[in-house]
Amino acid sequence: FGSFGTLDGGIFDDEINFSFYESEMRRYYANIVGKYGPQVLNAIKKLGGLEIKYICPSHGILWRKDVSVVINHFANWASFTPEEEGVVIVYGTLYGTTAKMANVIARELSWNGIKNIKIYDASKTDHSYIISDIWKYKGLIIGSAAHNNDVYPVLHGLLHKLKNYGLKNRYLGIFGNMLWSGGGVRGIQAFADSLPGLELIAEPVESKGEPTLEDQKKLEHIAKVMAEKLKSERA
């Protein structure tokens, strides 16, 4: 039940604004504990019959008022249950073309009523923050330039971690860019094939150089299908 982040004054849950620490608690879970969801759920099950007055992790907030809040959070994270409707778009780009493709998708998502959209250049943001948002939102769209017949290197570590953690219960879209023989989209597809808990929502889009109008329409199609999937789950 730990967390990243400093405790700036208060140490108990009733002394602080939990929303300020919530993202750091999720980042901690997703990056440190994320692989061990079944073990977390088994441990929480063992707590079921106990009256818990305090939870005192080795780092992070101490819980004495809303003990059920932290237990519920960890149970949901352990079962890969998304917290909110939204989409993470993460990409690796060589010359900026894949970034343009990401923005086409993001704009179309917005036009189709999706408000929580996070775009990440995997070379500019620490992967721990990207993974935290992937835990938070149901939609995930990954794009890569081709590099030596493979995924662009800045994405390798991220995909490896998500595969190692056994990511599931997410809608997935794939896009990318190539000039020679490709490899970026093919590598992401191999990642998707290794995780049966991911649902690929549309055919991957791979442009050759600057995306054509036809490429843009295909990218917009990924966004539209993603938006439809997410909106279909609204209460």
Residues 135-155 have pLDDT tens digits of: 999 999 999 999 998 999 999
Cβ contact 101:119 at 8 Å: no
Confidence of residue 110 (pLDDT cuts 50, 70, 90): very high
- pLDDT of 78 > 80? The answer is yes
Residues 172, 178, 180, 184, CA torsion sign: negative
**Ordered domains of the chain (ranges, CATH):** 13-78 (no CATH), 84-231 (3.40.50.360)
pLDDT in tens, 12-34: 999 999 988 999 999 999 999 99
Confidence of residue 3 (pLDDT cuts 50, 70, 90): very high
- pLDDT of 130 > 90? The answer is yes
Q: What is the pLDDT of residue 49?
A: 83
> CA-CA distance, 4 to 6, in Å (whole number)?
7
pTM, full prediction: 0.94
Report the chain's mean pLDDT, rounded to a whole number. Answer: 95
In terms of DSSP bridges, do strands 137-147 and 84-92 run parallel, antiparallel, or are they unpaired?
A: parallel
pLDDT in tens, 179-233: 888 889 999 999 999 999 999 999 999 999 999 999 999 999 999 999 999 999 9
> CA-CA distance, 204 to 138, in Å (whole number)?
18
Percentage above 70 pLDDT, the chain? 100
Give the number of residues written for the chain: 235
Hey, which residues does 117 pair with through a beta bridge?
A: 87
What the block records as the tokens of 205 is 């889009």
> CA-CA distance, 55 to 58, in Å (whole number)?
10
Q: What is the pLDDT of residue 48?
A: 85
Residues 128, 160, 197, 221, CA torsion sign: positive
Q: What would the DSSP string read from start to end of 109-144?
A: HHHTT---EEEEETTTS-HHHHHHHHHHEEEEEEEE
- The average pLDDT across 77-99 equals 96
